[in-house]
Amino acid sequence: MGVRELENRFVTTLRTCSKISELKKLHAHIVKLSLSQSNFLATKMLDLCDNLGHVDYATLIFQNLEDPNVFSYNAIIRTCTHNHKHSLAITVFNEMLRHAMKSALPDKFTFPSVIKSCAGILCHRLGQQVHAQVCKFGPKSHAITDNALIDMYTKCGDLSGAYQVFEEMADRDSVSWNSLISGHARLGQMKSAREAFDEMPCRTIVSWTTMINGYARAGCSVEALEIFREMQVVGIEPDEISVISVLPACAQLGALEVGKWIHKYSEKSGFLKKTAVCNALIEMYSKCGCIDESLGLFDQMVEKDVICWSTMIGGLANHGKGYAAIRVFEDMQNAGVAPNGVTFVGVLSACVHAGLWKEGLRYFDVMRVDHHLEPEIEHYGCLVDLLGRCGRLHQALDTIMTMPMQPDSRIWNTLLSSCRIHRNLEIAAVAMEQLLELEPEESGNYVLLANIYAELGKWEGVSNVRKLIRSNRIKKTPGSSLIEVNNMVQEFVSGDHSKPFSQDVFLILEGLTLHQTTTSDFMEFGE
């Protein structure tokens, strides 16, 4: 039997391998028959290692090759990139360049993987160097390589580099456009992202989802919902990724009816089998005030990851159900799911809402000692809130002063709020001094301090705070509220008469006020 025939038989057998143990046995036969230096078989084995996710064994196979060709190099680089071993992929590529004249020149199948690895480690300079190699070895125009370059440049924040590649492309496809849109969205440049989106000749579900996700992440929740509806109007059905992207916008706006529609749509489309979709729905219901719906969906889930548990704990805590949140945390531990930092933010918040300061201190220690998680500023914020609410203001202040990181305005504001509850002017002055440095134009801090003076009957202090507001020309941010009507979210801002139906709203309010006054007078007369 000839060598080529033997190689073909081994390739046929390799296609049936589904475990690394089977590959190792077959590899042993290949070595025994003196075929271990066959680049043809090595490439096939490397591809199998890629599919099985065994980079270490792939590296062993490749290192035993005395004279790897371009196909073997491409296979090992591809395997490393697919399995997130980006530094190793770049190391192999450098080795390939050193031996380029001797064995194998990089080709159009080499560069996309190497460029993806540069993007994977966000190494802009290295990506530029690889781009130079593309120009050196060619091909001059290759859509997959060009798209990889655009993606690399956008992920590294170099949109000018991305546009340079884009403008030089002979054939731009949807991937090229989507990479540009994604780059703008990642940097929060939603106006530019929208311009690129509008110019795009043929939009895909990825294009729409990128815009939805970009708007949601930038806090433009109204725009996220608008483009979600626009996508359906043009006949593109949402997939599970677009559903996950739009649900945070529903939660932000309190757009419950849209969220419920997405829940029914996800159930009909089979998306509820995906943990990520359920997690997004649980968070949406929780933030829209429907904690029972969150619990119902949570209880129905068969597989729960750490995100799911953490979302449910945080939701219960935010709804003031501290004891229920702690019970869920105990169930999580019994289920053998390791908590993360987000989990403990929820647990500590639960202790805050339930007034369990001793338990909160204990869980703070459990996080550090038992789970080896270093507390972040959010955890210290919960701890300060916990101690402040139960009146341990000096301990809360000590916690702030001994934090390993610089306290932010939210932590000082939390302490100031606790000072109002317990009427502690001494510590309130310390907190206010810090807030004046961190956010001197925030009107809420001045109002809070003035209220503390007023509740203590110190009217001179109230007057001084008001003088400070006037001298610093502080303007109070007008209050606003959101309401969902007929699946449309409307925002009302204090003092804003620009709504076309404002006069009707004010007339109804006057009628309600009159009705309340009349009813009140009638009750007094009856009494």
pLDDT in tens, 464-488: 767 766 666 555 555 556 565 555 5
The token pair that represents 348 in the structure block: 């500590």
pLDDT band at 355 (very low <50, low <70, confident <90, very high): confident
Looking at residue 521, what is its pLDDT? 47
pLDDT band at 209 (very low <50, low <70, confident <90, very high): very high
Q: Indicate if the pLDDT at residue 524 is higher than 70.
A: no
- Report, as an integer, the average pLDDT of 170-191: 92
pLDDT band at 419 (very low <50, low <70, confident <90, very high): confident
pLDDT band at 101 (very low <50, low <70, confident <90, very high): low
Q: Indicate if the pLDDT at residue 361 is higher than 60.
A: yes
Q: In sequence order, what are the beta bridge partners of 481?
A: 492
Q: State how far the alpha carbon of 262 is from the alpha carbons of 270, 302, 383, 527, in Å.
A: 12, 20, 36, 51
Among 2-11, 105-114, 271-280, 302-311, which is the least confidently predicted range? 2-11
The per-residue pLDDT for range 43-99, each reduced to its tens digit, is 999 999 999 999 999 999 999 999 999 999 999 999 999 999 999 999 999 999 888
pLDDT band at 165 (very low <50, low <70, confident <90, very high): very high
- Report, as an integer, the average pLDDT of 404-410: 92
Which H or E element spans position 62?
Answer: helix 55-63
Looking at residue 500, what is its pLDDT? 63
Q: Indicate if the pLDDT at residue 254 is higher than 50.
A: yes
Q: Indicate if the pLDDT at residue 526 is higher than 60.
A: no
Tell me whether residue 21 is exposed, middle or buried, using C-beta atoms within 10 angstroms of its C-beta: 0 to 12, 13 to 18, 19 or more. Answer: exposed
3-state secondary structure 411-472: HHHHHHHHHHHHCCHHHHHHHHHHHHHHCCCCHHHHHHHHHHHHHCCCHHHHHHHHHHHHHC
Q: Are 329 and 347 in contact (CB under 8 A)?
A: yes
In the DSSP assignment, the letter for residue 273 is: G
Among 91-100, 231-240, 391-400, which is the least confidently predicted range? 91-100
Annotated domain spans of the chain: 203-303
pLDDT band at 501 (very low <50, low <70, confident <90, very high): low
Half-sphere exposure of residue 396: CA atoms within 13 angstroms, side-chain side: 31
Q: State how far the alpha carbon of 130 is from the alpha carbons of 59, 127, 166, in Å.
A: 22, 5, 17
Query: Quick one: how far is CA 510 from the chain centroid?
Result: 44
Looking at residue 460, what is its pLDDT? 73
The mean of the pLDDT values for the chain is 88
Q: Indicate if the pLDDT at residue 121 is higher than 50.
A: yes
Q: Are 20 and 45 in contact (CB under 8 A)?
A: no
The per-residue pLDDT for range 441-470, each reduced to its tens digit, is 667 677 777 777 777 777 776 677 677 666
% of the chain residues with pLDDT over 70: 88
3-class secondary structure, 171? coil
Looking at residue 450, what is its pLDDT? 76
pLDDT band at 495 (very low <50, low <70, confident <90, very high): low
pLDDT band at 230 (very low <50, low <70, confident <90, very high): very high
426 or 272, which is more confident? 272
- Report, as an integer, the average pLDDT of 157-170: 92
pLDDT band at 496 (very low <50, low <70, confident <90, very high): low
Looking at residue 487, what is its pLDDT? 54
3-class secondary structure, 492? strand
Looking at residue 455, what is its pLDDT? 72
CA 266 – CA 273 distance, rounded (Å): 9
The token pair that represents 53 in the structure block: 């996710």
The per-residue pLDDT for range 299-317, each reduced to its tens digit, is 999 899 999 999 999 999 9
Phi, psi of 488 (to 5 degrees): -120, 135
- Report, as an integer, the average pLDDT of 267-275: 94
Q: At residue 20, what is the residue type?
A: I
Q: Are 453 and 422 in contact (CB under 8 A)?
A: no
